Amino acid sequence: MNSEISPAEARQITRRWPLISGVSALVLAVLLGVLIATRDGVLSLDQLVLDDLLSIRADIFTVPALAMNFLGGGWFGVFVVPLGGALAFFLVKRRWAALYFLLASALSAGVVQLLKSFYGRARPDEILVTADLGSFPSGHVANAATLSVVLIILLQRRWVLVVGIVYTILMILSRTYLGAHWLSDTIGGALVGIGVGVILWAPFAHVLATEDLQFGLKKRARRPHSVG
């Protein structure tokens, strides 16, 4: 009996776990929204965290939080970051990476807007910024999580993993601090961003790996050879 796995079967297996993981994250986001919608009033943890952050509001925290607000949303976060990132990968001849980067950003934003319109959750009254309707899930956090997941997958560097995690956590804290979202909104946004980034990776995994290998070979070929 032949127990060896063919290359085609191996590719199918490697696509299966991102699909399972990504779908699980999206399902958790939807279930979290259902939990929030079926509860009377605000979740106790949401109110507790918001009250704690309101108690420390000061310029030293508000200024960087407003900077995060600019980076993660509006015209900059929705258009400049996705288009700029895709253009950067395109210019270095990583066209599949550029397409994956752009599609993940667009799909994440689309899922967020769909869930916002479905749940229609009210934002906190203490909001410091102008925002659209619908508090759940957080679009800023979804953008941050999607960006982090996509860059971790494409660049495969430990420092990108660390920076991505820190950036997403800071976005979660800043959105709650500004009163733009409840904590559960930001958790939902993170789940959406992670889920979309991982799910979309599945159909791109093989071509991205092939492209990354070719890119690495071209970089090594351009390096000057030392003379022994």
- Rounded CA gap, 97 and 17, in Å? 20
The C-alpha R_g of the chain, in whole angstroms, comes to 20
* pLDDT of 43 above 60: yes
* Residue 131, phi then psi, degrees to nearest 5: -145, 160
pLDDT confidence of residue 9 = 46
**Mean pLDDT of the 156-165 span:** 95
CA-angle at 140, arms to 138 and 142, nearest 5°: 70
The encoded tokens of residue 117 equal: 């319109």
Tell me, letter by letter, the H, E, C secondary structure of the chain.
CCCCCCHHHHHHHHHHHHHHHHHHHHHHHHHHHHHHHHCCCCCHHHHHHHHHHHCCCCHHHHHHHHHHHHHHCHHHHHHHHHHHHHHHHHHCCCHHHHHHHHHHHHHHHHHHHHHHHHHCCCCCCCCCCCCCCCCCCCHHHHHHHHHHHHHHHHHCCHHHHHHHHHHHHHHHHHHHHCCCCCHHHHHHHHHHHHHHHHHHHHHHHHHHHHHHHHHHHHHHHHCCCCCC
Instruction: Summarize the confidence of residues 54-67 as an average pLDDT.
Output: 95
Q: What is the pLDDT of residue 16?
A: 75
Within 8 A by CB and 6+ apart from 63, the residues are: none
Least confident stretch, 3-17, 40-54, 120-134: 3-17
- What is the overall mean pLDDT for the chain? 88
| Total residues belonging to the chain | 228
* Tens of pLDDT, residues 68-105: 999 998 899 999 999 999 999 999 999 999 999 999 99
Please give the pLDDT value at position 20.
Answer: 86
User: Are 191 and 25 in contact, with CB atoms under 8 Å apart?
Assistant: yes
| Mean pLDDT of all residues in 207-222 | 76
Half-sphere exposure of 2 toward its Cβ, with a 13 Å CA cutoff? 3
Region of poorest pLDDT, from 36-40, 84-88, 122-126, 187-191: 36-40
Q: Give the pLDDT confidence score for residue 5 in this predicted structure.
A: 38
Confidence of residue 209 (pLDDT cuts 50, 70, 90): confident
Q: Give the pLDDT band (50/70/90) at residue 220.
A: low
* Per-residue pLDDT, 205: 87
Q: What is the pLDDT of residue 213?
A: 82
Place of tokens 């906190």: 124
pLDDT digits (tens, 9 = 90+) for 107-129: 999 999 999 999 999 999 999 99
